[in-house]
Amino acid sequence: MAMSEPEPQSHPVDPRWHAQTRAVAAGRPTRHTGAAVNPAVTFTSTYIADGPLNYARVGNPTWTALEEAIGGLEGGDALTFGSGMAAVSAVVSLVPLGATVVAARHAYNGTTTLLGERAAAGALQVRPVDIDDTEQVVAALDEADLLIIESPTNPMMEVADIPALTAAAHERGALVACDNTFATPVLQQPLRDGVDVVIHSVTKYLAGHSDVLLGAVVTPADERGRVLRERILTHRTTHGAIPGPMEAFLALRGLRTLHVRVERASANAAELAGRLQGHPAVERVRYPGFGAMLAIEVRGGADAAEQVSAATRLWTHSTSLGGVESQLERRRRYDLEAKTVPESLIRLSVGIEHVEDLWSDLAAALDAVS
């Protein structure tokens, strides 16, 4: 089973183009008379022998098109996975048995659950940290093999000092991964801060329409990055955590509008954060000052938070985030959520609707409990 991948078949993208332009232009087929402007959705399990690919668990041209686009936005080389969790799992597999992993206490609960399971099986040691407390994280890095940053964290919205943490981890020989799902490459490019591996739940903003699950891992385009990428590719191939070609196509279509979606949703979030601050039913607003995710703590605890979540007509009461439509959810309804997340916390994923409609719907739900 050859591990090589196909030669790029894409129309070239000028690296001097702005990110907005590259998001639109990347992963398009080579241009010739009558050629399609979009990549084909390649439904095949195998390829005619002696080409660059011999079996479709190793590679697929539709994945490659999406990977070129995501890699270009993060400033590295991307590999796509069947879900964000498959991408997290591939990154955790980079460290040997018995390794010590320092990770955000309030990372996405799938990530903390995965680490907890590996720790319970005796495969890893996990040191949970408050990722916004640089001193605490640095103190936990001694003899660590891997630091997993998530910033902002899901759902506490803590922000890490990525360059400082990365430098401290590298001084101690630890690998640094950063889950960039919340910020997206529009607002934050961790590889430029020295991070070794970027993780995405492409399911969220990159695909952006709540219609696919996909993940990605992005490594730097240097020698060290290429070695990591080769290991991650081997993991994907042998564990089989591959995306479907249709999902890859849909995610690439969604990615075309990433910048306009993030800009509009972020503007909506900034406006709502200010208004929520003044609402009598809201005890605390967690808004990092950028991006389209925020969290509120409502007065009246879990019951009030559940009531608010159930009462909106426009905002959907649903898990997940990063779609064009606004979503909200009380996170402690899940047993797996960290017990340090307040019972009354509602995570808000702000979409691209008109901000006045979002506000009146949310304000009415909040009014009902105040």
Ligand X SMILES: *Cc1c(COP(=O)(O)O)cnc(C)c1O
Active site residues: 57, 108, 179, 204
Q: Nearer Cβ to ligand X, position 157 or 308? A: 157
Q: Nearer Cβ to ligand X, position 63 or 108? A: 108
Least gap, CB of 108 to ligand X (angstroms): 4
The four Cα atoms 330, 335, 336, 342 give a dihedral, to 10 degrees, of 40
The amino acid at residue 97 is L
Least gap, CB of 133 to ligand X (angstroms): 19
What does the binding site for ligand X look like in residue numbers (CB under 6 A)? 83-85, 88, 108, 110-111, 150, 154, 179, 181-182, 201, 203-204, 213, 215
The four Cα atoms 274, 277, 279, 282 give a dihedral, to 10 degrees, of 140
d(CA 130, CA 315): 30
Q: Nearer Cβ to ligand X, position 42 or 180? A: 180
Least gap, CB of 78 to ligand X (angstroms): 15
d(CA 165, CA 194): 10
The angle that helices 355-367 and 301-311 make with each other, rounded to 10 degrees, is 140
| Encoded tokens for 19 | 């990110």
Q: Nearer Cβ to ligand X, position 183 or 366? A: 183
Least gap, CB of 325 to ligand X (angstroms): 16
Burial degree of 1 (CB within 10 A; 0-12, 13-18, 19+): exposed
Residue 353, C-beta contacts closer than 8 angstroms, at least 6 positions apart: 268, 314, 325, 326
